[in-house]
Amino acid sequence: TALCTWVMWDALRFKKVSVAGAINGMVAGLVAITPAAGFIDGYAALVLGVLAGTLPWITINLAPRFALFRRVDDTLGVIHTHGVAGALGGLFTGIMADPNMVEYLGVKGTPNSVVTGLWYGHPQQLLYQFIALVFIIGYDAVATFVIVKLIGLVVPLRAPDAHLEVGDQVIHGEVSVDLEPYPGAPHLPVPAMAPAT
């Protein structure tokens, strides 16, 4: 559903569809359903698919307008297809978790339990999901910052500006995503590697 929704938005906005857009929609849908899998019913999953094909599509197309995102190297839209879609799926679980979907059996005398969302009369679940989302974002931000700083002590994390202008052709000898014709020479030859022994 998310793939079809993303492709529809591309067709409406850009008058064409792309494989990259379809893949982004597919990934956003899979990421969004992951926290909700087993907790929401099929109709809610369809709604989530439409939302997962819409909200990340909006953010990926609006983000370049904001100064903060102009400095982020996110060629594949990971912030949108994973961050936005994952947050959406987690919060949607807090809204649409169906108590009839899964029953967790109690152990050693504890009662059985179910997860019930706002739609089914348990607004606290949305609060729990929101608190978990804030914690995960905070934890991941700190952990990623520490890891990136440690890696930065060993290797540079950013290519020189001259390399960024041309892109993958300078670094890897090939173009990963050919969005427009490259005005320079054709693909650089890649030297043959010796066979493994």
Q: What does the pLDDT look like over 63-120, one tens digit per residue?
A: 878 887 777 778 788 999 999 999 999 999 999 999 988 777 677 777 777 889 999 9
Distance CA 76, CA 63 (A): 13
Which residue ranges make up each domain of the chain? 2-127
- Average pLDDT of span 154-180: 74
Nearest residue to 19 (alpha-carbon basis) of 28, 31, 29, 10: 10
Q: How far apart (Å, rounded) are the C-alpha atoms in residues 134 and 87?
A: 10
Residue 43, by phi and psi: left (phi above 0), alpha (psi -120 to 50) or beta?
Answer: alpha
Q: Angle CA(89)–CA(95)–CA(96) in degrees, nearest 5? A: 85
State how far the Cα of 31 lies from the Cα of 41, in Å rounded to an integer.
17
- Give the tens place of pLDDT for each residue, 40-72: 999 999 999 999 999 999 999 888 788 877 777
31/103 Cα distance (integer angstroms): 23
